[in-house]
Amino acid sequence: MNRNTLSVVLVAALAAVTGGVALAAPQGDTPRRPQLDTNQDGLIDRTEAAAMPRLAERFDELDRNRDGKLDRSERPHRKGGHHGRHRGGMERVVRADADGDGRISRTEAADLSWIAKSFDQIDANRDGYLVRSELRSYHERMRPQREAERAKRAQERFAAADLNKDGKLSRVEVSEKMPRLSKAFAFLDEDRDGFLTRDDLKPPMHR
């Protein structure tokens, strides 16, 4: 396994545990997009989404009907480059601005479910319209909550995998409960004690 391949495996493995905390992609050639729908049911569940960290990061945002799966209409369709996700989101907001006045009214927001349900929270000046700065401020305000929710889910997954409740995961526990993490076990087990702790599974600090 070369260094670039190991990096891809490690990123996917960490996403499966942390619930998709944003991680930087390896430098160099862009890796081939993985086949996500492994059971060919036309839907992407959380386990399948873990193979693509940026998708795992946005899973709850994209899962509009809260059924724990992403159908074709809920999946992002990104085009080109590292910033494709952000451009795609902006393009959807711009398309919703039907009258082209640079603002999103409550009626226009109806086509963007995540905005519609939080319209009053986003509309800081209560003028009945949303502008870009209000959307940006809302995302920043909600960031701690999203990170706390991801951390909680990670703790729950760790607890579920810790079959003997000793506060650490053996190879057997990882193989049974977190199979996607198995390939990166040795790399994550830096102290070579044969177990993974919560600290071992923490993602790199954001810079």
**Which tens digit of pLDDT belongs to each residue from 134-164?**
999 998 999 898 889 888 988 898 999 999 9
CA distances from 111 to 35, 94, 137, 163, 196 (A): 29, 11, 21, 44, 44
What would the pLDDT profile of 29-83 be if each residue is shown by its tens digit? 334 445 677 777 788 888 888 877 778 878 888 888 888 888 877 877 654 444 4
The whole-model pTM stands at 0.44
What would the pLDDT profile of 160-187 be if each residue is shown by its tens digit? 999 999 999 999 999 888 888 888 888 8
The whole-angstrom separation of Cα 109 and Cα 147 is 25
Question: What's the mean pLDDT in 115-132?
Answer: 93
pLDDT at 115 over 70: yes
Give the start-to-end residue ranges of the domains of the chain. Answer: 1-76+162-207
pLDDT category at 14 given cuts 50, 70, 90 is very low
pLDDT at 89 over 70: no
User: Pick the residue with more confidence: 146 or 16?
Assistant: 146
